[in-house]
Structure 1
Amino acid sequence: LDLRWGIGGLPFTGSHGRQMGGWVRLRDEPSAEPVSEAHLLALVDAWPPAVLPHLSKPAAGSTLSWTIEFVQPLANLTTQDWCRYCATIEHARDGYGHTSAMLYTAEGKLIAISRQTVTVFG
């Protein structure tokens, strides 16, 4: 996958913003094929948990729960198209973080909604 960071701090930089994300696409696709739900799942799952930029050093973490919804009908995308990802921390405290994230087409059309609860051990 190709990632282009564009929102918020990188993991383990001590950043304190509530949002994180940027641009993502599949890498080295030889031809443009229609995007499936499996492709979209990979594009969303490529990003680290949005709470990691708050940490100043690496720490172990784990997903406690994760859901994803694919907006139907699927957007008319190919495996060579860029998508924009933006995650927002809704609440984080005592090693737990609750985030929501959206995946959009380059034109701004919503294509997936993700919700994740993570824990960080540090």
Structure 2
Amino acid sequence: MHIDEILATVECGERPLVPESWGQGRTTFGGLTGAILCQALMAGVDGDRVLRNLDVSFVRPFEALKPYNLDVEEFANGKTVCIKQVRLVQDGKIRAVAKGDFVRMLESAVHIDTFIAPNLPTIADSRLLVGDDLPDFFGMFEAYVATKGMPFSGTDVPELGGWMRFNETPVQLTESHLVCLIDSWPPTASPFYEGFKPLSTVSWSIHFANPVTTLASDSFVGYHSKVNFGEGGISSSSAEIWAPEGKLLAKSVQTSIIYG
């Protein structure tokens, strides 16, 4: 099932069953879960409000091929900021929660841009991320690793990055699509581990810097993440995501668990 089909049904209030092709072990791929939550939050927001921050917490496995509900609540809707929360509920239990902050742009003479895109190798000089142990959902993406350590290669490199896009091109990229893309990468600490290990994301925060909708939908998006710290199977990482011309799209912070 194409990502556009899933997001379109969320926007119009339908709840189609998520196919197993988007699976990650016994749960649904976290990037798709985050994208569904993001799409639910964006529905009904005034057109002059821009999504600036998305916080996601994964509570329990979100199972494929089972009905679910999305419960949206508006916390505040002022002149400048609208704050909403959504809960994904399945079998009467909360599976994931997200909060979104939508902000109206103000007139201001101040413009601050400190981002410089990392000087990563080109796609031609990078390595296609493939492997028999990759989860089912990874067939939805095309990713090239430009940093030294491949995931689960036993390489002590505290960074992971490269280039990513959907295998089946969306009609138009949105913030929900970007959420899905960002989480397609394994945890940044994964190169330290020898052989594939089960993993999960505990919490996730994305700060959106510039619109995604101006990008060509088949564009390769840049991704570079660094480990903040890791111990006892838990690691924190911070990532930057940028457009082909070098414009910052978002910053992402994740807390992940690798079981192994």
**TM-score under structure 1 normalisation?**
0.88
User: Within 1, Cα distance between the matches of 2:210 and 2:243?
Assistant: 13
Paired positions, count: 120
| Partner of residue 95, structure 1 | 233
Q: Where do 5+ consecutive residues of structure 2 fail to align?
A: 1-140
| Partner of residue 34, structure 2 | none
User: Within 2, Cα distance between the matches of 1:82 and 1:8?
Assistant: 19
| Partner of residue 61, structure 1 | 199
Question: Mean Cα displacement is larger for which, 57-66 or 68-77?
Answer: 68-77
Q: Aligned ranges for residues 77-116 of structure 1 at < 5 Å? A: 77-116=215-254
**TM-score under structure 2 normalisation?**
0.43
User: Within 1, Cα distance between the matches of 2:148 and 2:234?
Assistant: 19
Q: Which has the larger radius of gyration?
A: 2
1:10 aligns with 2:118: no
Shift of 1:75: 5.9
User: Within 1, Cα distance between the matches of 2:212 and 2:221?
Assistant: 13
Higher relative contact order at CA 8 Å, sep ≥6: structure 1 or structure 2?
1
Select the structure that is richer in strand. Answer: 1
Shift of 1:115: 0.4
Q: For residues 9-60 of structure 1, what are the alpha-carbon distances to aligned partners after superposition, in whole Å with 9 as ceiling and x for unaligned?
A: 112111111110100112232xx74321111112101111111110012222
CA contact (8 A) 2:159 2:189 kept: no
Partner amino acid, structure 2, of 1:43: L
Q: Where do 5+ consecutive residues of structure 1 fail to align?
A: none
Shift of 1:2: 1.2
| Partner of residue 48, structure 1 | 186
User: Within 1, Cα distance between the matches of 2:143 and 2:196?
Assistant: 20
